[in-house]
Every structure is written in structure tokens, then in C-alpha cells.
Amino acid sequence: MTWILRILIFFLGEFVKGRMVLRAKRRGVVTYLKALQGSRRILLIAVSVFFVFNVVALAGIGTFVTGVMLLDLDQRQKLWILFGVFAALFFIPVIALVIAFNERVWYKMSGAEKMVEDLRLEPEESKAA
């Protein structure tokens, strides 16, 4: 009769261990996602500050060149070319930053998507934890 009790205790222990491991995995994934989001925000702030300083410098140079070009009204075509170049120099980095800081891109590239998917594929009975 004790062997039945030992088997029951063994299976109960394995069941509890499995639930504890799954709970630890879930907490680990949540912590990883929060850390990923925090590092993304810090990087976003750092690059944004750098970007703002570069835009200010570029705007100063653009204002100077445009101001000089405005003095000579015969060179209107050059002014439009300068305007197009400075507009492109502004919008291309903005579009690149929007793509680079997209949370979905970070989610996929960091491997978090695979970790969450692995948790979803865990057996249904252990999800009740």
C-alpha cells in the first residue's frame, strides 16, 4: 500500500514542479518584455536628443543658405532645390526613426515573440497556474 502512496506523492510533486516552472517562465518573459521596453525608451530618448541637436544645426545652416539665396531673386530655381534637399534631409531620418523604434519590430527582432509563443504552446492544463 505504501508503494501506491509513493507513486501518488511522486506524481503530485512532479505536477507542482511543472506548475512552478511554468509560472517562473511566465514571470521571466514579462520581466524580459518590461526590460526590453525600458531599454527601447532609453534609446529613443538618447537618439531623439541627438536628433534634435542635429536638426537645430541643420536648420541654422539651411536658414543661412536660404537667406543668402533669397537675396538674389534670379536664382529661384536654386532655392527650390535647396528647399527640396533640406526637406529630404529632415523627413528621411524621421521615417527611419519611426521604423526603428516601432515596438512590433523590436518585439520580433529581440526574440520576445518566440518566447511568448512558446508559453502559449504549453499544455492547457498547466495554464491554470
Q: pLDDT tens digits for 7-32?
A: 777 777 777 777 777 787 888 888 88
Domain assignment of residue 2, yes or no = no
- pTM over cut 0.75: no
Task: Identify the domain containing residue 41 by its residue range.
Answer: 34-115
Domain assignment of residue 74, yes or no = yes
Instruction: Please tell me the total count of domains within the chain.
Output: 1
Distances (CA, A) of 76 to 2, 26, 37, 71, 86: 99, 63, 48, 10, 15
Domain assignment of residue 25, yes or no = no
Domain assignment of residue 6, yes or no = no
Domain assignment of residue 29, yes or no = no
pLDDT tens track for 32-53 = 888 888 888 898 899 889 988 8
